[in-house]
Amino acid sequence: MDRVEILKTYKIYIGGAFPRTESGRYYVPVHGNKQLGNICLSSRKDFRNAVVAARSACGKWSGKSAANRSQVMYRIAEILEGRKSQFVQELQFQGSTKSKAEQEVHASIDRLIYYAGWCDKFSQVFSSVNPVASAHFNFTAPEPMGVISICAPEDSGLLGLVDAVAPVLAGGNTCVALASEGMPLCAITFAEVLNASDVPGGTVNILTGKRTELLEHMASHMDVNGFLYCGSDEEEIRKVQSLAVENLKRVSISTSEKLLSSERQNPYCIEDFVEMKTTWHPIEIISGSGSGY
């Protein structure tokens, strides 16, 4: 007798667990005449819960040593490598060709490795020792910004999300990402990869649903410190920028046109989501030895 295949339920990822949306709603993304599945239509309360999870994970993630963060990100790439075929299948199911899908998965793994490498290096590059005219040792170093809202690109199911999340993580931030509305499958499967990769629960939270519903809350939430918008809808961008003013969120806009290019592998993507802290440290005899800080 033929086996009846078990269909996978795609749920959302909050605080290291896979709950259904609290709203109980779902939507059915369609590709061609194919239904992709019943996908959680997340509500603003799911977003709120995810921000609470992300906030409480802040200490755990940013408190890790940079080298350890690097190892954990490398681990994500390892696990993704091991589950390549599943992602390729899902991408094909969502309308990609086999070679395009493979290319996308490989690029995603490489991007994770790239940013894993930067975890314990970007701080040296972006820090500075500043000349000042008083008896102070004055230096500037980056610190994680905190909780970042991410609107992942609409037209790339996996690479778009990885490309957005990796630099944010490398900087020591936690995030709440909204997956592509039309191609959400890989995002949730990627959440399973994260869950198996020593990433503390709550560090990355992934929601599925409609941008039109959630964008406003993602941009206005007072406990979110930064916003990464992927896309080019002028109206949405204006909306995000004006709502972000309330608590002076950093807003970064990323157009997803060149996702596969090496331009997207760039430490300045990490710099977008760090805060620079300058410290004035009193020193004793500055001129005695003729030293000049």
In total, the chain counts a number of residues equal to 293
Binding mask 247-266 for another protein (x = CB under 8 A): x-------------------
C-alpha span between 177 and 13 (Å, rounded): 10
Q: Which of 88, 217, 231, 254 binds another protein (CB under 8 A)?
A: 217
DSSP 8-state assignment for residue 288: T
Residue 111 or 221: the one with the smaller Cβ distance to another protein is 221
Nearest distance from residue 248's CB to another protein, in Å? Answer: 11
CB of 46 to another protein, least distance (A): 12
Of the candidate spans 192-200, 202-210, 221-229, 259-267, the one that interacts with another protein by CB under 8 A turns out to be: 221-229
Residue span binding another protein (CB under 8 A) among the ranges 1-9, 113-121, 202-210, 215-223: 215-223
Binding residue for another protein (CB under 8 A) from 143, 223, 257, 263?
223
Q: Give the distance from CA 53 to its chain's centroid.
A: 14
| Other CB atoms within 10 A of residue 39 CB | 25
Cβ closest to another protein, residue 22 vs residue 110: 22
Contact (CB, 8 A) for 273 and 146: no
Neighbours of 28 (CB within 10 A): 10
Report which residue type is found at 241: Q
Q: What is the distance between the alpha carbons of residues 215 and 221, in angstroms, rounded to a whole number?
A: 10
- DSSP lists the bridge partners of residue 128 as 140
Q: In the complex with another protein, which residue's Cβ is closer, 50 or 194?
A: 50
Footprint on this chain of another protein (rule: CB under 8 A):
48, 51, 217, 220-223, 246-247
